Amino acid sequence: MQLDSRGLEITTASADAVRHLDAAVADYLDYGQTASAEVKAALDADPDCALAQCYRGYLLMMLENRAVLPKVQQALDALAGMADDLTPRERLHAEALQAWVKGDLMNACLAWEAILNDWPRDVMALKLHHTMAFYTGRAHVLRSVVSGVLGEWDDTIPNYANVQGMYAYALEECGDYAEAERWGREATDRNPGDLWAIHSVAHVLEMQGRASEGAKWLDQPPERWANKNFFKAHVWWHGALFHFAQENFDEVFRIFDEVLTTVNSDKYVDVSNQAALLKRLEIAGLDVGDRWDALAEHSQTRIHDHILPFRDAHFCLALAADGRVDMARKQIDSLFVFAREGDGWTAETTKSILIPLCEAIIAYESRRIRQGLRPDLADPQRAVADRRQPCPARSLRPDPHRLPRCAASGSAWRAPCCRSAWRSFPARGATGRSSRKSSTISAKPTARPTRACACRPPPT
């Protein structure tokens, strides 16, 4: 038995294995590119290290690609062969991995919560829970779990700044922007390389409409994050949104062409961030040229993945926006089969939210917006898995032709009092779409909530 850098027991006789696992955790938390290599080195040092097998499976699952599932199963098979020797903490990690593979994110989160209840310094369990609680739309769980372990941490413990960054993001998702910014900035002061803490502060600035500050906050030369993994593209995406809010469209296109696409490779294309940005530009009336082509080409190879509904929705968007409607419909056929045969959170969310959303995307891109948006999907509270938003906007029920105005800003529903979240876009005709050639956008907000919001001050 060995102890890791946070004093947690690991079943192994190899100090080298523990050293490599510590390095893997640190790299994973900072969104580096060496975590997988460190886990491999740990397994080379001790092939029977159960926690290393769990970490191997976790990192593979984070790729969100069905092609990796056979390798994940190898890790699970190895864990099954050493079941009698696992500590309670290691057993819970194995259970979490098994649930994740099945698409049962809720039970995976329960296993990580059980770990944190007894071992609050298990930062890998904390980060994985943090990620999946976010993906399942449970902001209150994000906050309660991180705040529940925070008292067991201080700046003498490795990765404390990463925990601060997680707490900052949890606070932001719950609408506590002042505290979120304070914790996020403190985390980045301690660890300037923590992209999650940087990202957490960016969220605060976006939600408060502080676009100029946000652009400066993320004004980092690409080489500064050269050793970061593909998550850096999402942080750059936030930078593009800040420029979008200020109508600096040339800079938005520059970020897309010169920065976002740099994470693309033969095996990986960052469809979600790139598709979301292109669609905002199109809704604003701008011509994006042939930029959809590469996204659609990659999405076509992923229509049967169904690892995460969030990714599937963006694959559908890329296909439909590029005119590959038949392929998008094939994806929906595959989603129906998955929803019928699967179980757990992923299958249920696919059935209740993802399939109707994909149908709406196809209808919208086919210029049949009235048929594409059912009343329940036009309700902002229906569009998310979790209905516990800090500022419900139930009084805002736009007709389908006006919905694209809000769609260009991801903050519109969650921050209805934020001036930059509501923007005036070119007038639509009967189809609800503007000309792709138009490049004008009015800075004057025309859609504003009709009632005061108690959770944040009105814009000035």
pLDDT at 21 over 70: yes
CATH number for 129: 1.25.40
Q: Is the pLDDT of residue 162 over 50?
A: yes
pLDDT tens digits along 65-119: 889 999 999 999 999 999 888 999 999 999 999 999 999 999 999 999 999 999 9
The answer to whether residue 93 sits within a structural domain is yes
| Domain tally, the chain | 1
Residue 151 lies in a domain: no
Work out the pLDDT band at 411, boundaries 50, 70, 90. Answer: very low
- The reply to whether 199 falls in a domain is no
pTM of the model: 0.81
Two tokens, residue 150: 């925070």
Q: Residue 366: which pLDDT band, with cuts at 50, 70 and 90?
A: confident
pLDDT in tens, 230-242: 999 999 999 999 9
For range 172-187, the mean pLDDT: 97
What is the chain's mean pLDDT, rounded?
84
Confidence of residue 267 (pLDDT cuts 50, 70, 90): low
Mean pLDDT to the nearest integer, 378-386: 41
> Which of the two residues, 99 and 414, has the higher pLDDT score?
99
- Going by pLDDT thresholds of 50, 70 and 90, the confidence category of residue 406 is very low
The residue segments making up the domain with residue 46 are: 1-135
Asked if the structure places residue 36 within a domain, the reply is yes
Confidence label for 325 from pLDDT (cuts 50, 70 and 90):
very high
Residue 321: its pLDDT value, please?
A: 95
Percent of the chain at pLDDT exceeding 90: 73
pLDDT at 142: 94
Greater pLDDT, 206 or 447: 206
pLDDT over threshold 90, residue 337: yes
* pLDDT at 351 exceeding the cut of 90: yes
Q: Of 112-116, 352-356, 417-421, give the lowest mean pLDDT range.
A: 417-421
- The answer as to whether 262 is a domain residue is no
Report yes or no on 84 lying in a domain: yes
User: Residue 339's pLDDT is what?
Assistant: 95
Predicted local confidence at residue 220, as pLDDT: 84
Checking if the pLDDT of 446 tops 50, the result is no
Q: Is residue 7 part of a domain?
A: yes
Q: Is residue 444 part of a domain?
A: no
Query: Is pLDDT larger for residue 11 or for residue 398?
Result: 11
